[in-house]
Structure 1
Amino acid sequence: MTITIRDEELILAKERAIYLPKEKLLAISDLHLGKAAHFRKAGLQVPSTLAQSDLNRLSFLLDEYQPETLLINGDMFHHELNTDIDDFERWKGQYPNLKFVLVKGNHDKLDETQYQNLGIEIHEPSYCTSKFCFIHDAIKCKEENLYPISGHIHPGVSVYGKAKQYLKFPCFYFGGKYAVMPAFSAFTGLSLIRPKVSEQVYAITPTKVVKV
């Protein structure tokens, strides 16, 4: 799905990402790497393949769009360093020429040296282009002339069919004051939103992005 916001083209990918062709920038949010390993460490039987599945989806996007910059819009890492993050470091080695940028979110608790060792450029509280302000929590944005694009809440929407049947999907939300990206990680819940008529919501189905 290709849309235009502030006279700039954005591509909404069904893999839960936004690509900005003008900036050659691929943006995702709420990757939550290490979450599965964190739960396993606590004794919960969470599949060890969850993080790798997310990274495989991210590889597809990088191959598809060939961006110069990968922007993670908050909550890249769920908690402390663990085996999932070790896997990420090995995976990252495939992309030596790609710029990795993290806008810090509420779960990003590593110290500066750890981020530096992983080759990740930190921006706090936001990363801005000529039209947009990427920030983890939109209400904290101070850039009055830019359109905030946030994450944090893991937005979802209910799509209704016949006989009052409905399904829940992650979604992209574009309101008058700010936008919210879906959580990239499949290992997250959904916070259902109820959009107003003037707001634009795009549901992410298994096969495509659709306007609802």
Structure 2
Amino acid sequence: MIEVNGFNTSQATDASLTFVDVTLRDQRLRLLAGGGVYHRDRRSLFVADLHLGKDTTFRRHGLPVPKGSCEATLNRVAKMIDACEPAQLFFLGDMFHAKSSVSDEVDRAICAFRDRFSEIPMTLVRGNHDASFRKLPSRWAIDSCAENFIVDELRLCHHPVHCGDDKALALAGHLHPAFALGTVTERLGNLPCFWYTQGCLILPAIGEFTGTYRVRRQAADDRVWVVADETVLEIPNV
């Protein structure tokens, strides 16, 4: 049991990766401290908003951003793959910051990542930053599709959607959600979070230099899990 700012939560650890198991709309999910979601029945891993190459874009515009963020981001995904051993990987949009951001460094990092996990099928659900990628380079061996891709009763999106009375559960990204944790805000700032609202689970951004959107609960049954110090913590709706 872990206590943060007066809130208690149970958590589990597997292969040095902390997680919380939840069931949303009959879908058994594992929320990972790395920012991804593992579907326990489908053995699928979902991640969002890597924004690979954003550091390249920043440097091109004169901002002194160090190299290596692409490799660091992919290493975070690799850690989740090693922990969960998924049968499939889905990127829920904005895998890239822009087509012009795909430098030789980014290309090499993706190729190395793909070679390491060559046995795992990977699919990009295109987001707004991926719009120029109608087809990814064949050497990456990553399929792509438009959002609102339906897999059984999962609706895979980049932009969040409200499912309402629909039985499907939507998984999305785009917002880079974060939560201001009560009186410790000044010390911790906005913490990346998973946000479940109106039938849609919105994942935190995986990439660096992405910024955040502060979550404000929209309904009484909204749920929020923050990621802090490699721990996933559910914040009660009080």
The two structures have a TM-score, normalised by structure 2, of 0.81
Look up the equivalent residue of 1:127 and give its one-letter code: F
Look up the equivalent residue of 1:169 and give its one-letter code: L
Contact 1:70 1:98 in 2 (8 A): yes
Alpha carbons of 1:94 and 1:203: their partners in 2 closer, same or farther (altered >3 Å)? Answer: same
- Which residue of structure 1 aligns with residue 161 of structure 2? 139
- Which residue of structure 2 aligns with residue 8 of structure 1? 27
- Which residue of structure 2 aligns with residue 77 of structure 1? 96
- Which residue of structure 1 aligns with residue 226 of structure 2? 203
Matched, 1:158 2:180: yes
- Structure 2: how far apart are the matches of 1:2 and 1:54? 24
- Which residue of structure 2 aligns with residue 180 of structure 1? 202
- Which residue of structure 2 aligns with residue 167 of structure 1? 189
Deviates more, 1:33-42 or 1:16-25: 33-42
SS in 2 for 1:55: helix
Q: What percent identity do the matched residue pairs reach?
A: 26
Look up the equivalent residue of 1:48 and give its one-letter code: K
Look up the equivalent residue of 1:36 and give its one-letter code: D
SS in 2 for 1:93: helix
**Pairing 1:58-69 to 2, within 5 Å after superposition:** 58-69=77-88
Look up the equivalent residue of 2:89 and give its one-letter code: L
SS in 2 for 1:161: helix
- Structure 1: how far apart are the matches of 2:145 and 2:185? 48
Q: Tell me the alpha carbon deviations over residues 156-194 of structure 1, each in whole angstroms, 9 at most, x when there is no partner.
A: 100013798663101001113322111111321110011
- Structure 2: how far apart are the matches of 1:84 and 1:3? 34
Contact 1:34 1:85 in 2 (8 A): no
Alpha carbons of 1:55 and 1:176: their partners in 2 closer, same or farther (altered >3 Å)? Answer: same
- The alpha carbon displacement at 1:51 in A equals 1.4
Alpha carbons of 1:164 and 1:73: their partners in 2 closer, same or farther (altered >3 Å)? Answer: closer
Structure 2, unaligned runs of 5 or more: 1-19
Structure 1, unaligned runs of 5 or more: none
Contact 2:94 2:130 in 1 (8 A): yes
Look up the equivalent residue of 1:19 and give its one-letter code: Y
Deviates more, 1:39-48 or 1:159-168: 159-168
- Which residue of structure 1 aligns with residue 116 of structure 2? 94
Look up the equivalent residue of 1:210 and give its one-letter code: L
- Structure 2: how far apart are the matches of 1:14 and 1:163? 20
- Structure 2: how far apart are the matches of 1:172 and 1:60? 19
Q: Give the counterpart of 1:24 among 20, 43, 57.
A: 43
Look up the equivalent residue of 1:171 and give its one-letter code: C
- Structure 1: how far apart are the matches of 2:194 and 2:111? 28
Contact 2:125 2:149 in 1 (8 A): yes
- Structure 2: how far apart are the matches of 1:55 and 1:2? 24
